[in-house]
Chains A and B, each alone.
Chain A
Amino acid sequence: MIYTEVFFINGKSFTKTWSDTGYVMRDNISYKEANDPTELNRTYVEVPAPKEEDEADPDEVLEALGGVL
């Protein structure tokens, strides 16, 4: 579900938008939490969090190196 909350910085109004299940997206860009000037009336859709990239196997080091320098 998407949530929004209004807050103020130095008298200026901002709107925070976030999802409890993943990211929020606007114009094909994902945000973990989007903070925007309230006056801009930006709206978001909910998207799942992207899959984390696996760490490479350290054993690939010597094989891929192949004496290159």
Chain B
Amino acid sequence: MISNNYKEDTSYKYRWNQKELLGKILSGTLDEDLYISDLRINKTPPAYWFQNPIFRGACFSGRHKLRVDVTLENYHPNVQSWFEYCNASELIFSIKLERPGENYTNLAINSFCRYSELETVDIRFLDKLRLSGVNTAFLNMPNLKTVILRCYYQIALGGDYFLSGDSPNINVVVLDSPEVATLPNIQHLTRAPAFAEGGPGGTIYIPQSLYDHLGDGSSYDYKSATNWATVDAYGTITWAPIEGSEYELK
């Protein structure tokens, strides 16, 4: 189970009242890091809420961090386009389901932050939510270097890809899940130049429990997993444990 214990980063402050905050976001004069805690959505989540007009385009002046914690009071299977065109440099996005079922519930993040200026994206699905699709989530993001998925289980389905050639600088992926993530075909990874055959290489961080068994044949791991084994054979993946790294949640 993914731990939801984390230390609150005091560099994120939510100090303004709603009207002031909205004014700063819409005018592009928000000049500090922003943390919106416990944003509750009590109806079918709007696909374009964060895209139009709230976090679309130049809501920040200068490079800043954005953190948004959302609670969905009603379930909808597709979180789509929420941070398109966002001009923050780093995004932490946590989502919880108000009334989780006994079994895990699937959620897709299609078109999630494409066309944005983000350099780092950290997506946290806690409380019995698991990622079921990342169709074009990270498309055309020239500044994107690091993708972090913290969820119970990841599947990337759909016609377009998890990592895109239009986001050519991705070279760090963090898969913070206790199970091996599914890769529907190798292009979901190799469209990122770092991981392609002959590419300069990149680093993939995985839990220590999976890292410990890499390639020893004792269990299903990334070196034997479907499609992962093929990309691993290219020699462009450096595996590293999340624990003890800068990506460990503490």
Query: Which residues of chain A have a CB within 8 Å of any CB of chain B?
Result: 9-10, 12, 14, 23, 26, 29-37, 40, 42, 50, 52-53, 55-58, 60-66, 68-69
B230 close to A (CB within 8 Å)? yes
A62 to B22, CA, bound (A): 15
**Chain B interface bracket (under 10, 10 to 19, 20 to 34, 35 or more):** 35 or more
A56 to B155, CA, bound (A): 21
Query: Which residues of chain B have a CB within 8 Å of any CB of chain A?
Result: 18, 21-22, 36, 39-49, 52, 76-78, 80, 108, 110, 133, 155, 157-158, 182, 184-186, 197, 224, 226-227, 229-230, 233-235
Is chain A's interface secondary structure helix, strand, loop, or mixed overall?
mixed
In the complex, the answer to whether B49 meets A64 with C-beta atoms within 8 Å is: yes
In the complex, the answer to whether A10 meets B235 with C-beta atoms within 8 Å is: yes
In the complex, the answer to whether A64 meets B44 with C-beta atoms within 8 Å is: yes
In the complex, the answer to whether B182 meets A64 with C-beta atoms within 8 Å is: no
Partner of A69, one of B22, B48, B184, B229: B22
- 14 A-B pairs with CB atoms under 8 Å apart are A9-B230, A10-B234, A14-B229, A14-B233, A29-B182, A34-B185, A35-B186, A35-B226, A56-B80, A61-B46, A64-B42, A64-B43, A66-B43, A68-B41
A14 to B233, CA, bound (A): 10
Chain A residues positioned under 8 Å from B42 (CB to CB): 64, 66, 68
In the complex, the answer to whether B186 meets A56 with C-beta atoms within 8 Å is: no
A67 to B158, CA, bound (A): 33
Partner of B108, one of A34, A53, A58: A53
Chain A residues positioned under 8 Å from B49 (CB to CB): 61, 64-65
Q: How far is the CB of A37 from chain B (nearest CB, A)?
A: 5
